[in-house]
Amino acid sequence: MSTSTTTAVTAPAQHKTRAQRTTDWKYRWPARYRASWAALAALLVVVVPLAPRAYSGASVELVSALAGVLAIAALGQTLIIMIGALDLSIGAIVSVSAGMVVHYGTDGSNTVLVVLAAIVVPVLLSLVNGVLISVLRLNPLIVTLATFGIITGGIRLWTGVSLSLTGRAPESLSAITQGAVGAISAVFLYGLVIAVLVALLLGKTRYGRQIASVGSNRRAARVLGMGVTRTELSTFALAGLLYGLAGVLLAGFLGTPDVQSGAVFQLTTITVAGIAGVTFGGGPASVASVVSGAVFLQLLDQALAINGLGAGSRVMIQGFVLVIAVGAITLGRFSASGLSRGSRLRRRAPVPSE
């Protein structure tokens, strides 16, 4: 009786060439994602001579705190953009969350329940947007603009003609939001943790990949068996969760926020998405670029304020930044497609015979 042995043959390890690694890196991290980091690096260099006070301890803490809140809210806006929509009600929803914290978080109240309510209500409001847009197929801009008006009017009736929210954030909430590690605000660190969780959700889960697929081509996603409506509704709910978290952290850091504290997010979150290279027609996005875009925009605003520019001028500059960012991304996409098409034509062209 003979015994035969077989030896497993192991395929040789495939080592990527430098060109292959470069191509892979460019595919995973395209130029539109790198733009926000380049802009942030350039701004850091420019701010040193023009606004050195922006690097003081108190200024860095303020910028990092507001950038953390903006990053969280912008991630919610980014999710909505990824599925091919746009949320103009974000400012009102964040204001509702912050208002609930300071209005109901009085001494003797249950802070945990107040915070939970301030998160759940934005989720429900965002879900209303989702039903009107995804189920009834209404125009996202019209729906969210109407929602913004309804919620803002509701806040006026709730808080009075002055629109100022009476009350103050609970001390227990302020204690964990007004702290800092060195000069970096705790709010920014919370924002980083939330950003990492969102990045893992989008990059490592089937649901995250479905969000980008639905935004890229809704009809194709449905043909492939994806629950398009379910994905869109859950994305609106997730965005509402992020809006609620942003409102809670904003209330805790500011202590006494008002309606205008949340209203600014209507423009700033869209601007951050544009800087971060998010495609406004839907599709994938980079969480890291959104965070860097939030830091860039907040640092720019702080530097302009230090140099004496008023709120109106700073909003105008934010608008210019948005137009420039979207224009650069669009031109870059056209240039890349033109170069790619030209390369294919050159490869197909017949070689003249001698």
The DSSP string of 201-246 is HHHHSHHHHHHHHHHH-HHHHHHTT--HHHHHHHHHHHHHHHHHHH
State pLDDT tens for residues 41-84.
988 888 878 888 888 888 999 999 999 999 999 999 999 999 99
- Is residue 13 very low, low, confident or very high in pLDDT (cuts 50, 70, 90)? low
335 assigned to some structural domain: no
What tokens does 164 get?
A: 């100022």
40 domain-assigned: yes
How far apart CA 26 and CA 40 sit, in angstroms, is 20
What's the Cα-to-Cα distance from 6 to each of 2, 3, 9, 141, rounded to whole Å? 13, 10, 9, 66
Residue 75, in any domain of the structure: yes
Residue with tokens 């998160």: 119
3-state class (DSSP) for residue 7 = coil
Note whether residue 9 is domain-resident: no
Is 272 a domain residue?
yes
Write the CB contacts of 240 (distance below 8 Å, at least 6 apart in sequence): 76, 93, 122, 123, 124, 125, 126, 127
Residue 85 CA to residue 105 CA, distance in Å, equals 34
Per-residue three-class SS string for 60-99:
HHHHHHHHHHHHHHHHHHHHHHHCCCCCCCHHHHHHHHHH
Q: Burial level of 146, CB count in 10 A (0-12/13-18/19+)? A: middle
* pLDDT at residue 340 tops 70: no
In the predicted structure, residue 352 carries a pLDDT above the cut 60: no
Instruction: Tell me what pLDDT residue 232 has.
Output: 97
In this prediction, residue 176 carries a pLDDT of: 94
- N- to C-terminal Cα distance for the chain? 70
pLDDT tens digits, 148-194: 999 988 887 877 644 445 578 899 999 999 999 999 999 999 999 99
CB-CB neighbours of 150 under 10 Å:
14
Residues paired with residue 181 on neighbouring β-strands, in sequence order: 184
Instruction: Read off the pLDDT of residues 90-148 as tens digits, 9 standing for 90 and up.
Output: 999 999 999 899 888 876 678 999 999 999 999 999 999 999 999 999 999 999 999 99
Q: Is it the case that residue 245 has pLDDT exceeding 80?
A: yes
pLDDT of the residue at 308: 83
pLDDT (0 to 100) of residue 95: 93
Q: How far apart are CA 9 and CA 11, in angstroms?
A: 6
Beta strands in the chain (DSSP E): 180-181, 184-185
| pLDDT tens column, 200-229 | 999 999 999 999 999 999 999 999 999 999
What total of structural domains would you count in the chain? 1
CATH code of the domain covering residue 46: 1.10.3470
d(CA 248, CA 240): 12
DSSP H/E element including 330: helix 311-348
pLDDT at site 332: 64
CA distance 38 to 49: 18
> Is 60 within the bounds of a domain?
yes
Query: Any idea which residue has 């039903």 for tokens?
Result: 131
Q: What is the mean pLDDT of residues 255-277?
A: 89
Q: CB of 246 within 8 A of CB of 72?
A: yes
Q: Residue 24: inside a domain, yes or no?
A: no
Residue 197 is encoded by which pair of tokens?
A: 């969780």
Structure tokens that stand for 154 in this block? 């509701």
Does residue 351 lie in a domain region?
Answer: no
Report which DSSP code applies to 53. G
pTM, whole model, 2 decimals? 0.86
DSSP state of 179: -
Burial class (CB in 10 A: 0-12, 13-18, 19+), 206: exposed
Residue 285 corresponds to which tokens in the numbers above? 């996005």
301 versus 326: which is more confidently predicted? 301
CA–CA gap between residue 97 and residue 122 (Å, rounded):
7
What is the residue range of 92's domain? 33-330
Confidence class for position 26, pLDDT limits 50, 70, 90: low
